[in-house]
Chains A and B, each alone.
Chain A
Amino acid sequence: MTAESIQKIPKNLRRRKITNSVMISLCVVAGIITILPLIYIFFYTTQSGLSALNADFFTQLPKPVGEVGGGMANAIVGSIILIGIGGLMGIPVGILAGIYISEYSKNIFATIVKFTTDVLSGVPSIVVGIFAYGVIVIPMQRFSALAGGFALGILMIPTVTKITEEMLRLVPQSLREASLALGVSRWKTTLRIVLKTASAGIITGVLLAIARAAGETAPLLFTAFGNSFWQTNIDGPMAALPLQIFVYAISPYDDWHRQAWAGAFVLIFLVFIVNLIVRFVTRNKYSGNL
Chain B
Amino acid sequence: MVKEIKSRKKLGDIIFENITLIFAFIIVGLVFYIAYEMFIDSSESRDRFGFGFIFSSDWNPVKEEFGALPFVFGTIVSSMLALLISLPISIGVAIFLSEIVHKSVRTPISFLIEILAAIPSIIYGFWGIFVFAPFMRNTVQPMLQSTFGFLPFFKGSMYGTGLLTASIILAIMITPIISAITRDVLKAIPVSQRDAAYALGATKWEAIKMALLNARSGILGGAVLGLGRAIGETMAVTMVIGNKAQIKASLFEPAYSMASVIANEFAEASGSLHISSLIEVGLILFGVTFIINSMARLLIYSVTRKA
Q: Which residues of A contact B (CB under 8 A)?
A: 9, 16-17, 19-20, 23-24, 26-31, 33-35, 37-42, 44-45, 92-93, 96-97, 99-101, 103-104, 109-110, 112-113, 115-120, 122-131, 133-135, 138, 143, 154, 157, 161, 185-188, 190-191, 208, 211-212, 214-218, 221-222, 225, 242, 245-246, 249-250, 257, 260-261, 264, 267-268, 271-272, 274-275, 279, 287-289
Contact = CB atoms under 8 A, between A and B. Distances in A.
Contacts of B83: none
Contacts of A221: 263, 266-267
Nearest to A265: B123
Interface stretch (B34-42, B62-70, B141-149, B248-256): B34-42
A288 B203 contact: no
Nearest to A31: B96
B92 A29 contact: yes
A246 B122 contact: yes
Contacts of A126: 232, 234, 259, 262-263, 282, 285
A130 B34 CA distance: 9
A274 B120 CA distance: 13
A35 B120 contact: no
Nearest to A226: B267
Nearest to A212: B118
Given A127-B34, A130-B266, A157-B27, 9 more contacts: A23-B208, A24-B205, A27-B100, A41-B119, A116-B31, A122-B293, A125-B234, A126-B232, A275-B114
B289 A123 contact: yes
Contacts of B175: 34
What 5 pairs between A and B have smallest CB-CB spacing?
A215-B120, A30-B92, A124-B232, A187-B16, A122-B293
Nearest to A30: B92
Given A31-B109, A218-B259, A275-B111, A26 B92 contact: yes
Contact of A113 (B28, B111, B130, B203): B28
B131 to A, nearest CB: 6
A163 B225 CA distance: 19
B88 interface: yes
Given A100-B21, A109-B24, A41 B34 contact: no
B17 interface: yes
B27 A123 contact: no
Given A33-B89, A123-B232, A271-B118, A187 B13 contact: yes
A126 B40 CA distance: 17
18 contacts: A17-B203, A27-B96, A34-B113, A92-B23, A113-B24, A116-B27, A118-B293, A122-B225, A124-B231, A124-B286, A125-B232, A126-B234, A128-B34, A130-B278, A215-B122, A218-B234, A222-B266, A289-B181
B157 to A, nearest CB: 21
Given A30-B88, A96-B24, A9 B123 contact: no
A127 B131 contact: no
Contacts of A20: 203-206
B199 interface: no
Given A92-B23, A249-B129, A124 B234 contact: yes
Contacts of B181: 289
Contact of A38 (B23, B40, B115): B115
A93 B23 contact: yes
Which has the most chain B C-beta neighbours within 10 Å: A27, A28, A125? A27
B93 A245 contact: no
Given A97-B24, A130-B38, A257 B203 contact: no
Nearest to B279: A130
Contact of A186 (B13, B119, B126): B13
Given A96-B20, A185-B9, A127 B38 contact: yes
A104 B20 contact: yes
B12 interface: yes
Contacts of A26: 92
B203 to A, nearest CB: 4
B297 A119 contact: yes
A24 B40 CA distance: 53
Contact of A268 (B16, B27, B123): B123
Given A215-B123, A271-B115, A101 B34 contact: no
Contact of A96 (B19, B172, B179): B19
B74 to A, nearest CB: 15
A34 B116 contact: yes
B10 to A, nearest CB: 8
Contacts of A133: 266
B210 interface: no
A131 B37 contact: yes
